[in-house]
Amino acid sequence: MSLELHYPSNCPFCRISEAYPASSESPVPSSPDPALVDPNAFIILSSDHVLAFLDILPMTTGHVLLTTRVHHEKLSEVPIGPTAQALGYWMPLVSRALAKTLHVEDWNVVQNNGIRAAQVVPHVHFHFIPRYSEGRRPPSKKPKADTFEVKSWKMFGRGQREELDEEEAVELAQRIREALKQEVEALEKDAVKL
């Protein structure tokens, strides 16, 4: 079977998947090099079946994508089995890590299927979008071009997004990884008690 079938070369998420293989040590990498792909990828999670990384055109600070390692265009194409189970396993953990890291109480988890449903990259992925309290600016060292961060109603649209600040992304990805590691450790600790 051809690698191109599983990892189309024109798919940016497949390029990320190839550049950041799963580690036998931990699915949450310590300090992955963002420059292994172009544009840079700020990896949060790299497991056998799924990856998570910061969106390069975030709707809000902390916008994370969770995607499958193997290429599937739409959610309906993901086979029932380890990949589907991995998505279900990691979704609450990523949610908790984001909420703790960014001190948010509300966030969206959105998944689009097809171009008419606002899917820009044709590789199945989930958006985790932190929603900050009205008037609260998210953690940032640099002022944003507009006030999109403080409008909780902001929805999808290319013109409504700003490019990811790479300096902040390095630090933010590290903080989210640390919170995610704590979530995994807590889960493993609780599993032993059962």
For residue 86, the tally of other CB atoms under 10 A from its CB is: 20
Burial pattern 114-137, b for ≥16 Cβ within 10 A else e, equals eeeeebeebbbbbbbbbbbeeeee
- For residues 55 and 63, is the Cβ–Cβ distance under 8 A? yes
Angle of helix 166-193 versus helix 82-102 axis, rounded to 10: 110
Q: What are the residue numbers of the active site?
A: 125
Burial class (CB in 10 A: 0-12, 13-18, 19+), 78: middle
Q: How far apart are CA 18 and CA 36, in angstroms?
A: 10
Helices (H), 103-163: none
- For residues 67 and 43, is the Cβ–Cβ distance under 8 A? no
Helix (H, G, I), strand (E, B) or coil at 165: coil
